Amino acid sequence: MKLIDKDAVVVKIKHHIKEETHSYFCKCLLSEIDTLEVKEVDLENEINDWYNTMGIPVTTDALKETACHFFELGLKVNQKGE
């Protein structure tokens, strides 16, 4: 799974609106994108907090890989449920 930068998508759509390429469609799409909630997580900080709480000797890289795997799995399951 690949994540995209919401701001980059908005810039691209605004360019198409400015060029009047499919302007109405782009404005509708832009309106929908504006409703999307973007959540950011400081994974390094979360790992450090969890590690300090649990005291389990696991490398940060291994925890990052595991966290990313289950984050992506959660997104896939959520998408299938919609």
- 2-41 pLDDT, tens digit per residue, is 677 788 888 888 888 888 767 788 888 888 888 877 777 7
- Longest C-alpha distance within the chain, in Å? 57
- Domain that residue 73 falls in: 41-82
CA atoms within 13 A on the CB side of 47: 15
Residue 30 in contact with residue 10, Cβ under 8 Å? yes
What's the pLDDT score for residue 81? 62
Could you give phi then psi for residue 3, rounded to 5 degrees? -100, 145
Q: Are residues 1 and 34 in the same domain?
A: yes
Q: Are residues 30 and 48 in the same domain?
A: no
Confidence of residue 43 (pLDDT cuts 50, 70, 90): confident
The DSSP call for residue 21 is S
Work out how many domains the chain is built from and give that number.
2
Q: Quick check: helix, strand or coil at residue 57? A: coil
- In angstroms, the CA 82 to CA 70 distance is 19
